[in-house]
């Protein structure tokens, strides 16, 4: 029953929200975000703890305001998810092209001929940035967690493919996504990975805003395996539009350099997030200090 309700909710989102006028959809989603901030559930509470690391000098009122702004930013992302399939993707790409910073990073990587790995945190609307990338450079490969129920996963798969993404499942895809990403890079293509959280034994220990956490090895490992350029993507909202910054390119010469390269990604994420913290949509536990004793023990901490 629960899975059917979840599927119905997503189906209603893609079916209803895309036909609502913007002057109706925007205040409705903002009201939902404000209600979530007021209710102060577990997600909002964790969001506040996460943001307190980003702005350690903030007062209680400033954190309250930042949580509300962040939840509004997150709700805007979901509103756009439900509306993007019917929007003009070429027009979106043109708007982003007017403000994008770092296009030269993409051009230089593709000129080298070994492909490009773009690593990004959960900021802004990465689907919009993906539209820009697909419209300008063709299909790229990304990885997504397989959602439950399967019908919701199929909806998301169809959604992202409609935007021009080649989506590989993180799990349940036979040999796993790594081979598919390597194949893309060997063709001098682009791989994009959201990579600011990996609280598993496979995660690379990093220092992030002064505290220990773990982040995925995948981006740096791919770069080391293929010779691809590794760079950072910063997605942000700018008024009614979007911003995109591509920066901090690096080459990872060997597997031994993967930990240092991953720390470099964490440092770059931190700089970007500190500049627009409300657009960082991290409502989950991220730092080791926030985990239960049992979870830390499982990680070997």
**What is the pLDDT at residue 172?**
64
**What is the pLDDT at residue 34?**
98
How far apart are the C-alpha atoms of 188 and 183, rounded to whole Å? 9
3-state secondary structure of 2: helix
Phi, psi of 292 (to 5 degrees): -70, 160
Q: What is the mean pLDDT of residues 225-237?
A: 98
Q: How many domains does the chain have?
A: 1
Query: What is the token pair recorded at 112?
Result: 């080298």
In the chain, % of residues over pLDDT 70: 94
How far apart are the C-alpha atoms of 274 and 56, rounded to whole Å? 11
State yes or no: pLDDT of 236 exceeds 60: yes
- Predicted confidence band of residue 173 (pLDDT cuts 50, 70, 90): low
How far apart are the C-alpha atoms of 134 and 137, rounded to whole Å? 5
- Alpha-carbon torsion (52, 268, 163, 91), positive or negative: positive
Report yes or no on 289 lying in a domain.
yes
- Predicted confidence band of residue 135 (pLDDT cuts 50, 70, 90): very high
Residue 167's H or E segment, with its range, is strand 165-169
- Predicted confidence band of residue 4 (pLDDT cuts 50, 70, 90): low
Report yes or no on 45 lying in a domain.
no
**What is the pLDDT at residue 30?**
97
**What is the pLDDT at residue 225?**
98
Strand partners, 205: 214
Report yes or no on 75 lying in a domain.
no
- Predicted confidence band of residue 297 (pLDDT cuts 50, 70, 90): confident
Indicate the average pLDDT of the chain: 93
Report yes or no on 286 lying in a domain.
yes
Could you give the residue ranges of the DSSP H alpha helices within 102-217? Answer: 103-112, 126-137, 150-162, 178-186
Closest CA to 109 of 83, 137, 88, 149: 137
Residue with the two structure tokens 């992030």: 208
- Alpha-carbon torsion (104, 248, 218, 165), positive or negative: negative
Report yes or no on 79 lying in a domain.
no
State yes or no: pLDDT of 10 exceeds 80: no
**What is the pLDDT at residue 148?**
77
DSSP state of 148: S
Least confident of 3-12, 151-160, 202-211, 274-283: 3-12
Report yes or no on 139 lying in a domain.
yes
Report yes or no on 136 lying in a domain.
yes
Closest CA to 95 of 244, 218, 216: 244
> Can you spell out the DSSP letters for 249-280?
EEE--SGGGHHHHHHHHHHHHHHHHHHSGGGB
Greater confidence (300 vs 23) lies with 23
State yes or no: pLDDT of 95 exceeds 60: yes
Report yes or no on 163 lying in a domain.
yes
- Predicted confidence band of residue 50 (pLDDT cuts 50, 70, 90): very high
Closest CA to 273 of 113, 98, 106, 124: 124
Range(s) of the domain holding residue 135 = 88-298
**What is the pLDDT at residue 197?**
95
**What is the pLDDT at residue 237?**
98
3-state secondary structure of 263: helix
State yes or no: pLDDT of 1 exceeds 70: no
CA 158, 15, 171, 44: dihedral to nearest 10 degrees? Answer: 140
3-state secondary structure of 231: strand
Sort 33 into a burial class: Cβ within 10 Å, 0-12 / 13-18 / 19+: buried
Cβ proximity of 88 and 243 under 8 Å: no
- Predicted confidence band of residue 14 (pLDDT cuts 50, 70, 90): low
State yes or no: pLDDT of 63 exceeds 90: yes
pLDDT digits (tens, 9 = 90+) for 189-226: 999 999 999 978 889 999 999 999 999 999 999 999 99
């Amino acid at each position: 029953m629960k899975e059917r309700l979840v599927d119905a909710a997503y189906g209603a989102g893609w079916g209803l929200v895309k036909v609502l006028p913007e002057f109706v959809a925007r205040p409705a989603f903002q009201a939902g975000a404000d209600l979530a901030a007021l209710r102060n559930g577990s997600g909002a509470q964790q969001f506040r703890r996460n943001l307190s690391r980003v702005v350690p000098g903030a007062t209680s009122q400033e954190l309250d305001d930042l949580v509300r702004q962040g939840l509004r930013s997150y709700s805007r992302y979901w509103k756009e998810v439900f509306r993007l399939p019917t929007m003009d993707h070429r027009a979106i790409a043109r708007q982003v092209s007017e403000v994008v910073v770092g296009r030269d990073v993409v051009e230089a990587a593709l000129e080298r001929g070994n492909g490009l790995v773009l690593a990004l945190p959960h900021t802004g609307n990465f689907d919009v940035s993906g539209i820009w990338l697909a419209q300008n450079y063709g299909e790229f490969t990304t990885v997504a967690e397989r959602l439950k129920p399967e019908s919701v996963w199929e909806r998301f798969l169809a959604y992202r493919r409609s935007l021009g993404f080649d989506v590989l499942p993180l799990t349940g895809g036979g040999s796993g996504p790594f081979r598919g990403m390597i194949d893309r890079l060997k063709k001098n293509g682009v791989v994009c990975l959201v990579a600011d959280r990996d609280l598993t034994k496979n995660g690379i220990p990093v220092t992030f805003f002064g505290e220990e956490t773990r982040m995925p090895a995948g981006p740096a490992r791919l770069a080391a395996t293929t010779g691809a350029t590794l760079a950072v993507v910063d997605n942000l909202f700018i008024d009614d539009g979007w911003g995109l910054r591509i920066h901090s390119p690096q080459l990872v010469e060997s597997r031994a350099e993967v930990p240092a390269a991953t720390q470099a990604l964490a440092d770059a994420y931190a700089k970007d997030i500190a500049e627009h913290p409300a657009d960082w949509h991290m409502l989950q536990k991220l730092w080791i200090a926030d985990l239960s004793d049992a979870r830390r023990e499982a990680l070997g901490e």
